[in-house]
Amino acid sequence: MPTLEELTGRLQEALTTWGPSVLAALAILVLGYIVAKLAIGALRRALTRGKVDPTLIGFLCNIGYIALIALVVISALGKLGVATTSFAAILGASALAIGFALQGSLASFAAGVMIILFRPFKAGDFIEAAGVSGVVEEIQVFATKLRTVDNKGITVPNNSITSGSITNFSAKPTRRIDLIFGIGYDADIARAREILERIVGEEERVLADPAPVIAVSELADSSVNFVVRPWVKTDDYWPVRWHLTERVKLEFDAAGISIPFPQRDVHLYSVSP
């Protein structure tokens, strides 16, 4: 059993051999942590001044912080004499294994990066994608949260969104309302056009430029169809659409203009026994 003097000597020898390296590694960790915090803070302030999307700011800052901390840890391990090349190889193999196990999640992650970078939509937009529609509440790295018109929450994986077409109904400040009104073949076309023009002209939310289009579009099987295409602000789309539809029905009824509906004639033939 070693004596106290031998243990003291071994401790002194270990401190002499490893002490400077351990102190240097600790210094690298502490200083590296401080520098990483300062660098990420500066990056966040610069991106904020540049009016970059908050979601993109958080994503870039998190990725940058993780990369800097990983670099600091590897530097500290190298100072202690650890073979960092082997350590990096182990990390790479682990990342590869995790990548195979999380292929779907990584696809959603990559899709989230694409959405954040190219911004086909933003929070508050009304979109249709992946077979669902709703208002975008939050764009996350792996999924996007939507709120439907009947106030249901839907979480859609980002790879499902980017794998198909995305319709952003809020992308433009104005939208065109496309309405079709049919009248009977015995109705007065000129009178119907006059009523439609008056209804659209009296609606204050309809924009003058581009000018509304009112025209006979089709001689259908049982009706003469008018197209009514006014332009409105995007926020006024549904209120104006509903209001115009109601006004046309009331005005046509008052003027005695019939709106045909699908009918079927049934002919009965009697057969003698």
pLDDT tens column, 139-158: 887 889 999 999 999 999 99
pLDDT at 230: 97
- Among 152, 142, 144, CA closest to 124: 144
Question: What does the buried/exposed string (b/e) look like for 29-44 if buried means 16 or more CB atoms within 10 Å of the residue's CB?
Answer: beebeeebeeebeeeb
Same domain, 9 and 57: yes
Average pLDDT (199-220) is 95
| Helix H or strand E segment including 227 | strand 224-229
| Domain range for 158 | 120-168
Q: What is the CATH number of the domain that holds 191?
A: 3.30.70.100
Q: What is the CATH number of the domain that holds 47?
A: 1.10.287.1260
- Among 11, 29, 8, CA closest to 19: 11
Question: What residues pair up with 232 in beta bridges, in sequence order?
Answer: 175, 206
Residue 272 domain flag: no
pLDDT at 76: 76
Residue 243 domain flag: yes
Does the structure show a pLDDT above 90 at 195?
yes
Residue 265 domain flag: no
Residue that wins the pLDDT comparison between 271 and 193: 193
Task: Kindly state the percentage of the chain with pLDDT values over 70.
Answer: 79
Same domain, 90 and 15: yes
Residue 131 domain flag: yes
For 44-89, write each residue's pLDDT tens digit.
888 888 776 676 677 778 778 888 888 888 777 777 666 666 666 6
At 170, give phi and psi (nearest 5°).
-105, 5
Same domain, 179 and 242: yes
Select from 147, 168, 189 the last residue of a domain.
168
Same domain, 206 and 231: yes
Does the structure show a pLDDT above 90 at 17?
no
Average pLDDT (156-173) is 93
Same domain, 8 and 97: yes
Residue that wins the pLDDT comparison between 37 and 268: 37
For 89-111, write each residue's pLDDT tens digit.
666 666 655 555 445 667 787 88
Split into its structural domains, the chain has a count of 3
Residue type, 85: T
- Among 151, 121, 117, CA closest to 136: 121
Same domain, 8 and 72: yes
Q: Read off the pLDDT band of 9 (50, 70, 90).
A: low
pLDDT at 187: 93
Does the structure show a pLDDT above 70 at 23?
yes
Does the structure show a pLDDT above 70 at 13?
no
**pTM for this model (two decimals):** 0.64
